[in-house]
Amino acid sequence: MNKRDAARAIAKARKVIASGRHVPCPCPVVTCKAHGDCYQCVLGHRLHKLHVPVCFQPMLREKILALAELAEMKMAPPPGVRPRPRRTKT
């Protein structure tokens, strides 16, 4: 992705956010001061480095699983999620 493509992607994302068509905040901590304010939420998580925001976790989980498969590693599923069936070699 070059700078022009990145600028277009950012402009498109800003239009979606301004239109109100984006998904509401999925975080279960509704008492958080940053709840619903993505910028402040991500800023706080980056500052404290405790964990990844809830809305980023599914996306990162998919990417980490793909990387783990490339590296031929195994990764445990998160609590409450059934493991994927193993592939059998034929």
Per-residue pLDDT of 11-67, as tens digits, reads 988 888 788 777 788 888 889 888 888 888 889 888 988 888 988 888 898 988 888
- Give the pTM: 0.51
Answer yes or no: is 32 within a domain.
Answer: yes
| Kind and range of the H or E run holding 54 | none
Decide if 25 contacts 35 (C-beta within 8 A): yes
Instruction: Give CA–CA dist 30/39, Å, rounded.
Output: 16
Instruction: Give CA–CA dist 42/47, Å, rounded.
Output: 8
Answer yes or no: is 49 within a domain.
Answer: yes
Whether pLDDT at 90 is above 60: no
In terms of residue numbers, what domain contains 67? Answer: 23-76
Answer yes or no: is 88 within a domain.
Answer: no
Answer yes or no: is 86 within a domain.
Answer: no
Which 3 state secondary structure label does DSSP give 65? helix
Which 3 state secondary structure label does DSSP give 55? helix
Answer yes or no: is 82 within a domain.
Answer: no
Answer yes or no: is 33 within a domain.
Answer: yes
Answer yes or no: is 18 within a domain.
Answer: no
Task: Look at the chain and report how many structural domains it folds into.
Answer: 1
Answer yes or no: is 45 within a domain.
Answer: yes
